[in-house]
């Protein structure tokens, strides 16, 4: 039964929300004004807010990609019908605010860094798991109308000196992991892909599917509910205690008593939600803009022949692509605090980046501008774990901005762990230990601001 309360009792979107200082993500807030929200169409039905005390086998906190995928796989593959609890509207957090780039990746580390950290054997096993995750994502995308744009990933060298890194990484990916990577010259990038004036060349990776993320999330919702999962917006967890082996989750409408809890809240995790989560992810803001549709002349002058995912080699990288309706989307990191997120200089950073890359677009109208929080782990890799074997609590967090594709597989793996299944992959680093602590996270903001200045010098000057 659809008891959705869309449009009823919605609260205004708070653009200054900050996970480090705000008490929680709010209750039944409207979406951020993203292009995805503006073009996804009406949300699918849900099961309404929690409206009284109830017992469930599994409660999933968070209705983004990870929470929805966990609910879907629990129901479809294990016969467990979970209740998904969401504080605001469905897919309110990063799932409706990201760039929609689904890459064959997870976390922020390159494959060469996997080898440095864990050795070749573990790196190859981890690559097989991440590649399997991309297959999980691809299979779901094929079942959902989400404006999928396959073709791979174009990794642009924004300065000449970055080509040595791309050549080295591309060679390692070919020789150690069997990928059909290609190094492209500036001329090849301009002729065959896009006239990005910053490009000194590029590394082309064959795996990549860009999507409309909110349409994809809506598809996850429909599939999960068809298999028996329930979805409850305006039902954020405001209190959590454990008694007699049951987790008592306080929501505005009643207490949900759950045998098991799976946390999938990403960067929108309230600091007080549960002790196992405190200080485990550091929230970082990412901004995004979308232009008006390009004219025929603008398309010809920018030579946008590709719709695939594009990123550049900056530490604070730009991510961008041509959308199906001929708009350009571009995003990057920006503000350090939520209080500063609305300052015009952060949007200007993206506009200036767009103009540098594509001078013919100078002065083009910007139709959408927004920002959202990204969950960054201290060691730049995610975790899908049961942090304390004595407690039936699990979480999947820490994607570092690479969660569009791997979140699908993280949901599948978290569902397996909730269902009590075992797998040899669970000895891999992303499954066998909790997220490391970010010590004194509120005070790291000063360090983050200083790092951003250093990254700018490193990316643009030195």
Contact 286, 371 (CB under 8 A): yes
Q: CB-based contacts of 441: which residues, under 8 Å, 6+ apart?
A: 20, 279, 282
In 3D space, the residue among 429, 401, 403 whose CA is nearest the CA of residue 285 turns out to be 401
CA distances, 325 to each of 9, 97, 149 (Å)? 33, 18, 12
Contact 229, 45 (CB under 8 A): no
Nearest residue to 31 via CA among 48, 66, 6, 61: 6
- Whole-angstrom Cα distance, residue 324 to residue 431? 36
Residues in Cβ contact with 222 at an 8 Å cutoff, skipping those fewer than 6 apart: 44
Can you say whether the dihedral through the CA atoms of 31, 33, 34, 37 is positive or negative? positive
Q: Are 404 and 140 in contact (CB under 8 A)?
A: no
Tens digits of pLDDT across the chain (462 residues): 344 444 458 999 999 999 999 988 899 999 999 999 999 999 999 999 999 999 999 999 999 999 999 999 999 999 999 999 999 999 999 999 999 999 999 999 999 999 999 999 999 999 999 999 999 999 999 999 999 999 999 999 999 999 999 999 999 999 999 999 999 999 999 999 999 999 999 999 999 999 999 999 999 999 999 999 999 999 999 999 999 999 999 999 999 999 999 999 999 998 889 999 999 999 999 999 999 999 999 999 999 999 999 999 999 999 999 999 999 999 998 899 999 999 999 999 999 999 999 999 999 999 999 999 999 999 999 999 999 999 999 999 999 999 999 999 999 999 999 999 999 999 999 999 999 998 776 678 999 999 999 999 999 998
DSSP E strands: which ranges in 219-270? 230-232, 239-243, 246-251, 254-263
| Residue 304 in domain | yes
pLDDT of the residue at 2? 42
Number of domains in the chain: 1
Whether residue 443 is contained in a domain is answered as no
Task: Return the SS3 of 283.
Answer: strand
Task: Give the orientation angle of helix 120-141 with respect to helix 403-418, to 10 degrees.
Answer: 100
DSSP, res 13:
P
> Quick one: pLDDT at residue 1?
39
Q: Which residues are paired to 331 by β-bridges?
A: 288, 319
Alpha helices in 150-266 (DSSP H): 163-177, 186-192, 213-226
Helix (H, G, I), strand (E, B) or coil at 431: coil
Helix/strand/coil for 219: helix
Q: Is residue 325 part of a domain?
A: yes
Sign, CA dihedral 252-253-255-260, equals negative
What's phi and psi for 60, nearest 5 deg?
-110, 125
* CA 255 – CA 240 distance, rounded (Å): 9
Residue 186 CB neighbours (<10 A): 18
For residue 3, what pLDDT is reported? Answer: 43
- Predicted pLDDT at 8: 52
Residue 178 in domain: yes
Q: Which residues contact 7 (CB under 8 A, 6 or more apart)?
A: none
Quick one: pLDDT at residue 272? 87
Radius of gyration of the chain (CA): 21
- CA distance linking residue 232 with residue 249, whole number of Å: 13
> Does the residue 47 lie in any domain?
no
Residue 307 included in any domain: yes
Backbone angles phi, psi at 422, to 5 degrees: -120, 160
Q: How many CA atoms lie within 13 A of 389 on its CB side?
A: 3
- Write out the residue range of the structural domain in which residue 188 sits: 150-208+283-377
Determine which helix (DSSP H) or strand (DSSP E) holds 376, and give its type and residue range: strand 366-376
On the 0-12 / 13-18 / 19+ scale of CB atoms within 10 A, 460 is exposed
Helix, strand, coil % in the chain, rounded to nearest 5: 35, 20, 40
CATH number for the domain spanning 160: value is 3.30.9.10
Can you tell me the distance from the alpha carbon of 437 to that of 63, in angstroms, rounded to the nearest whole number?
A: 24
**CA 445 vs CA 234, 250, 256, 317, 336: distances in Å:** 30, 31, 35, 19, 7
Instruction: Look at the chain and count its residues.
Output: 462
Strands of the 309-312 sheet, one edge to the other: 182-185, 201-205, 153-157, 309-312, 319-322, 328-333, 282-291, 366-376
The answer to the question of residue 366 being in a domain is yes
- Cβ-based neighbours of 405, under 8 Å, separated by 6 or more: 102, 103, 104, 105, 133, 134, 137, 209
Max CA separation in the chain (angstroms): 68
Residue 431 lies in a domain: no
* Cα–Cα distance for residue pair 336/19, rounded to 1 Å: 12
């Amino acid at each position: 039964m659809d008891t959705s309360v869309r449009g009823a009792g919605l609260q205004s979107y708070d653009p200054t929300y900050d996970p480090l200082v705000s008490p929680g993500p709010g209750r039944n807030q409207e979406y951020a004004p993203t292009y995805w929200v503006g073009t996804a169409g009406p949300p699918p039905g849900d099961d309404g807010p929690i409206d009284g005390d109830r017992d469930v086998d599994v409660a999933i906190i968070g209705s983004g990609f990870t929470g929805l995928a966990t609910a879907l796989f629990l129901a479809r593959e294990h016969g467990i019908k979970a209740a998904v609890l969401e504080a605001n509207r469905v897919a309110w957090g990063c799932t409706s605010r990201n760039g929609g780039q689904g890459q064959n990746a997870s976390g922020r580390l390159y494959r060469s860094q996997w080898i440095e950290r864990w050795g070749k054997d573990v790196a190859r096993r981890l690559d097989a798991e991440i590649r399997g995750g991309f297959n999980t994502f691809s299979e779901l995308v094929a079942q959902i109308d989400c404006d999928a744009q396959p073709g791979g990933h174009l990794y642009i060298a924004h300065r000449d000196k970055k080509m040595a890194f791309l050549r080295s990484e591309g060679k390692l990916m070919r020789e150690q992991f069997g990928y059909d990577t290609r190094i492209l010259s500036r001329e090849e990038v301009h002729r065959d892909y896009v006239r990005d004036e910053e490009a000194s060349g590029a590394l082309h990776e064959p795996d990549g599917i860009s999507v409309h993320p909110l349409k994809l999330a809506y598809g996850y919702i429909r599939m999960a509910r068809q298999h028996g999962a329930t979805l409850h917006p305006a039902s954020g967890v405001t209190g959590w205690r454990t008694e007699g082996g049951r987790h008592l989750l306080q929501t505005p409408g009643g207490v949900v008593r759950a045998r098991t809890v799976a946390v999938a809240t990403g960067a929108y995790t309230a600091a007080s939600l549960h002790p196992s989560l405190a200080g485990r992810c550091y929230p970082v803001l990412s901004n995004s803009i979308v232009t008006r549709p390009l004219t025929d002349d603008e398309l010809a002058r920018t030579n946008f022949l590709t719709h695939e995912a594009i990123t550049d080699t900056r530490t604070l990288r730009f991510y961008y692509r041509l959308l199906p309706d001929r708009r350009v989307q571009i995003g990057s990191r920006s503000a350090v605090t939520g209080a500063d997120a609305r300052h015009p200089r952060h949007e200007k950073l993206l506009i200036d980046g767009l103009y540098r890359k594509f001078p013919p677009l100078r002065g083009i109208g910007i139709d959408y501008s927004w920002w959202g929080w990204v969950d960054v782990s201290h060691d730049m890799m995610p975790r899908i774990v049961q942090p304390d074997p004595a407690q039936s609590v699990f979480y999947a967090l820490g994607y570092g901005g690479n969660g569009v594709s791997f979140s699908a597989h993280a949901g599948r793996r978290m569902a397996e762990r909730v269902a009590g299944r075992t797998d040899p992959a669970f000895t891999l680093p992303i499954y066998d230990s909790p997220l490391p602590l970010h010590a004194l996270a509120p005070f790291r903001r000063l360090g983050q601001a200083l790092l951003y200045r250093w990254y700018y010098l490193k990316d643009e000057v030195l």
